[in-house]
Structure 1
Amino acid sequence: MFDLIDYKAVLVIALIFIPLEQLLPLHAEQSATRRHWLNDVFYLLFNGIVIKFGLLLVIGAAMLVIPSVVPEALSAALQSQPLWLQAIEALIIADIGFYFAHRAFHAMPFLWRFHAIHHSIEEMDWLAAHRVHPVDQILTKSASFLPLFALGFSGEALLIYVLIYHWQSVFIHANTRIKFGPLRWLIASPQFHHWHHANERQAYDKNFAAQLSVLDLIGGTLFMPQHMPEKYGVDEPVPQLYHQQLVYPFVTAAEPVAPIAEASPAAAKPE
């Protein structure tokens, strides 16, 4: 189901982040085997299969149309640039796509039902990065990847972006007190993203970027006080088992709609 490279990547990530969280923990009292950790291991090992298949379908379908829209000269010009410049441009463009897709998942009640699975995490660590509903990941990653494929960035630039995205997404969820100093206003850090998961009213609908916190600064959605959150998670009753979480968005969609003051995503979640 997974090839050997995937298993090696899982092992390397575990060997880096488990010791890191023990040596420089943010919440020292938190166990490596915190509540529902096995559920998130299941996400880590198996969720990627569904996401990869979904991404192939979405991007494959889009690429049938894109070549007729994007001039070949533009792709040629992009690929003629140095790799380091392509990588920077790809990172910026992809994170802009992620930022707006992420905001949509918080703003639209139907999309929030999928994203609430990720926000149901009550103890942040490296495993928490993997608890994401496949529909959420397929649509959000498509918003990041499609512009890169459409514009014709080189395969090497795409690979650099994918590696940065994957490693940083694990790091910003980690239970670590590492801070970035002044760079926190430019680059997403655990301090930045932990506030995105905070179950505290002032943090709702904040810190949407994946790599570049400066996008939230520009968009007016940045919230990053010096202290760290005391509480994570959501107030709505999200189930805690993988198979239950897969169907949760569809089950809640079938329930009667509550008055807007009660049904609003912002009334029930931290962002």
Structure 2
Amino acid sequence: MRELLEQYQLLLAPLIFVPFEQLFAARQQKIFRRGLSTDMAFLLLNGWLVFVGVTAIIALATLVNQSILPSAVKQAVSDLPYWAQAPIAIVIGDLGIYWTHRILHVVPAMWRIHAVHHAVEELDWLAAIHQHPLDVTFMKVGSLFPLFALGFSAEAIGTYLAIYYWQSWLAHANVRLGYGPLRHVLVSPEFHHWHHSSEQEARDKNYAGLFSFYDVLFGSLYLPEGQKPTAFGVDHPMPTRYLALLAYPFFAWASMLKRDDPSGTRRPVGAEAVPGTATPPAHQDG
């Protein structure tokens, strides 16, 4: 149910982020940009598909909590007050996001799912929604499964999710915002824009959702001072419509099996034959 409620919360986001992006734009970009209708489809329809996966994750995590987790661990977590549970849940949840996100990039078969998200070439707050349901579900395995399995309270988990969703929209937003001396501690729009950059040096970097110190710790940080990314997207053709994007990973996997080449690169030159796929235009700044 939490995933469905998120969709209603999203209806408030344009009231905040649209004027915010107009006032502090990092790049000149139209509100009604290319691909907006597809992103609206993701916004309105993805929640229903992700709900099924999240329900299964919570059910399995609850089973682990009740049948496998030692009683001493459950008691230790449940004895913590909300003010202690919430920050711990946030730290654990983002660690899970970091590693599942990294897997989506470095495992070729998983990249075919995550490429749907990176296909966005005009980055703004709504790009955060442009994700395949399998992508969203897999990342929630990393973030939600340990929290439910350890028995964190609904209030602590809800706090983590609320912060994560708003942070995700902010990180993708088309705004000039870095965090100065905290740039290596917290994820800013500047930090995450580099993650979406198609520039060679920035690829497969900056995986964290909330805490950039995870990328510092695990050696995946890319945050050059005095520079900004000039192009976004992937190097191979991608579909542009919602249903075609949903189908993309399945056609891509079939093509990988047909070629007997499961060791494809993150952004291969040339694309799998996917209905609705179009060659992207040349990248342009702004």
Q: Find the counterpart in structure 2 of residue 50 from structure 1.
A: 49
251-260 or 96-105, which deviates more: 251-260
Alpha-carbon contact 1:99-1:209 (below 8 Å) kept: yes
Q: Equivalents in 2 of 1:142, 1:164: separation in Å?
A: 18
Q: Find the counterpart in structure 1 of residue 211 from structure 2.
A: 212
Q: Find the counterpart in structure 2 of residue 60 from structure 1.
A: 59
Specify the SS of the correspondent of 1:89: helix
Q: 1:219, CA displacement in angstroms? A: 0.2
Change (3 A) 1:40 1:110: same
Alpha-carbon contact 2:126-2:169 (below 8 Å) kept: yes
Q: Find the counterpart in structure 1 of residue 247 from structure 2.
A: 247
Q: Over aligned residue pairs, what C-alpha RMSD do you find?
A: 2.2
214-223 or 69-78, which deviates more: 69-78
Unaligned segments of structure 1, at least 5 residues: none
**2:228 is the alignment partner of 1:232:** no
Q: Equivalents in 2 of 1:208, 1:257: separation in Å?
A: 30
Q: 1:82, CA displacement in angstroms? A: 2.9
Q: Find the counterpart in structure 1 of residue 265 from structure 2.
A: 264
Q: 1:3, CA displacement in angstroms? A: 10
Q: What is the identity, as a one-letter code, of the residue corresponding to 1:176?
A: V
Counterparts in 2 of 1:91-130, with a 5 A limit?
Answer: 91-130=90-129
Q: 1:205, CA displacement in angstroms? A: 1.1
Q: Find the counterpart in structure 1 of residue 283 from structure 2.
A: none
Specify the SS of the correspondent of 1:228: coil
Q: Find the counterpart in structure 1 of residue 158 from structure 2.
A: 159
Specify the SS of the correspondent of 1:64: helix
Q: Find the counterpart in structure 1 of residue 80 from structure 2.
A: 81
Change (3 A) 1:220 1:6: closer
Q: TM-score, normalised by structure 2?
A: 0.88
Counterparts in 2 of 1:127-138, with a 5 A limit?
Answer: 127-138=126-137
Q: What is the identity, as a one-letter code, of the residue corresponding to 2:191?
A: F
Specify the SS of the correspondent of 1:185: coil
Q: What is the identity, as a one-letter code, of the residue corresponding to 2:259?
A: V
Specify the SS of the correspondent of 2:11: helix
Change (3 A) 1:164 1:186: same
Change (3 A) 1:180 1:233: same
Aligned residues: 267
Alpha-carbon contact 2:93-2:142 (below 8 Å) kept: yes
Percent identity between the aligned chains? 42
**2:180 is the alignment partner of 1:178:** no
40-49 or 124-133, which deviates more: 40-49
Q: What is the identity, as a one-letter code, of the residue corresponding to 2:210?
A: Q
Q: Find the counterpart in structure 1 of residue 274 from structure 2.
A: none
Specify the SS of the correspondent of 1:159: helix
Q: Equivalents in 1 of 2:269, 2:157: separation in Å?
A: 37
Q: What is the identity, as a one-letter code, of the residue corresponding to 1:95?
A: D
Alpha-carbon contact 1:2-1:49 (below 8 Å) kept: no
Q: Equivalents in 1 of 2:242, 2:4: separation in Å?
A: 24
Specify the SS of the correspondent of 1:123: coil
Q: Find the counterpart in structure 2 of residue 143 from structure 1.
A: 142
Give deviations 1:63-119, integer Å, cap 9, x for gaps: 223422212332222222232221111111111111111111111111100000000
Q: What is the identity, as a one-letter code, of the residue corresponding to 2:115?
A: A
Q: Equivalents in 2 of 1:136, 1:107: separation in Å?
A: 14
Give deviations 1:122-177, integer Å, cap 9, x for gaps: 01101100000001110111111011011111111111101000000000000000
Change (3 A) 1:114 1:164: same
Specify the SS of the correspondent of 2:104: helix
Q: Find the counterpart in structure 2 of residue 24 from structure 1.
A: 24
